[in-house]
Amino acid sequence: MTNNEKYFPDMEIINSDIENKILNITNNTNFEKYNEYDVINALDKNDCSIEDFCALISPVAKKFIEQIAQKAKKERERFFGKNVYFFTPLYISNYCENHCIYCGFNCKNNIKRAKLNFSEIEKELIAIKKTGLEEILILTGESRKMSDVDYIKKAVELSKKYFKNVGLEIYPLNSSEYKYLHENGADYITVFQETYDKEIYKKNHLKGHKSIYSYRLNTQERALLGNMRGVGFGALLGLSDYKKDTLATALHIHFLQKKYPKGEFAISVPRLRPTVADLNINPSDVGELELLQIMCAYRIFLPYVNMTISTRERKDFRDNAVKIAATKISAGVSTGIGEHSNKKEGDSQFEIADSRSVEEIYKELKSQGMQPVMNDYVRV
């Protein structure tokens, strides 16, 4: 094992072939080999293969962005209609034990740290509930010491008092812990691999549990083994070769869908944003054209999968993206600790580009003929 492969004693090892399947294809794909015919052929097919997906995210495909977007829009309307699902993140702690050089919560950064107590969490939940939202995503920094599983469990229980759908974006857990949180109200989890390039991963994750590449990659599978209803994926676009990370993310979902057909799968498309770690961290090779290309290719290859467009992106891009490929949008977002109830306790993880309220985004999408959806899930 390499240095970022030696598991910590508390890490569960599962027997999985998913990582090898992903990397065998990703590491042997040359995106420069695809030509215009390959793109046209992919667009003409009813079913999109892995090879077709590679053609759609290749450099030559950029000149076909209009046709790719039109096909993605048809697939989006076929499976999701005009529906746009709403949610907001709730950051309850920003303590972190990982040293990830691109992240605002990096344990080496001199930021104001905070952890909300349960009274403060409830105030945040009440403030968010007043906006009309019915789905919430609870986030913490990656610190078991400061945000242990029981703390998260109690936050989930509080959230269930006010919200019909509760997601988690926390540090990776073992399958038994996911089962415990699901039994107490958590519906789904989201974990970003950040990059699937092992060498780039190692250079960017210098300390902490997150430095163990394979444990993080197998997180969604452990969550499914722990009976979580849904799992979310994403690579931080711009951290490495975005085409390879896009392919690897798609393959990760593709292979797990085949292995766990009852699971619900979702994808996010975050780009690097400025943080206190580096105010010039924006990726130079992933512009809005490339991001739209990625999203449309995802929609064509993974037509059933929910896709989130975050407030990292500007409002006009987000409003158009949900009409073409994305199906889920965050609204009324704050990445600081305690900001929803107007008392900021801790610093933000990254800068956002779309600061509109839930009401503003709701009205804008309605005016464009879309149908905002606060929740369509009932737990029984």
Over residues 281-327, the pLDDT tens digits come to 556 689 999 999 999 999 999 999 999 999 989 999 999 999 999 99
Residues 6+ apart with CB under 8 A from 100: 106, 194, 204, 205, 206, 210
Q: What is the pLDDT of residue 207?
A: 86
Whole-number average pLDDT of the chain: 92
Q: What is the pLDDT of residue 2?
A: 41
Contact 212, 4 (CB under 8 A): yes
Instruction: Determine how β-strand 165-169 pairs with β-strand 99-100.
Output: unpaired
Mean per-residue pLDDT for 82-109? 85
- Homologous superfamily of the 18-373 domain (CATH): Aldolase class I (3.20.20.70)
| pLDDT value at 81 more than 70 | yes
| pLDDT value at 95 more than 50 | yes
Mean per-residue pLDDT for 88-100? 89
Contact 153, 170 (CB under 8 A): no
**Nearest residue to 324 via CA among 291, 355, 357:** 291
**Calpha distance 17→226 (Å, rounded):** 18
* Extents of the domains making up the chain: 18-373
Q: What is the pLDDT of residue 257?
A: 97
Contact 171, 103 (CB under 8 A): no
The structure tokens 């930021």 sit at 111
| pLDDT value at 38 more than 50 | yes
Q: What is the pLDDT of residue 1?
A: 37
**Residue 202, number of CB atoms within 10 A of its CB:** 16
Write down the pTM of the prediction.
0.93
pLDDT per residue over 331-379, tens digit each? 999 877 888 876 655 555 556 789 899 999 999 999 999 999 999 887 7
pLDDT per residue over 181-237, tens digit each? 999 999 999 999 999 999 999 998 888 999 999 999 999 999 999 999 999 999 999
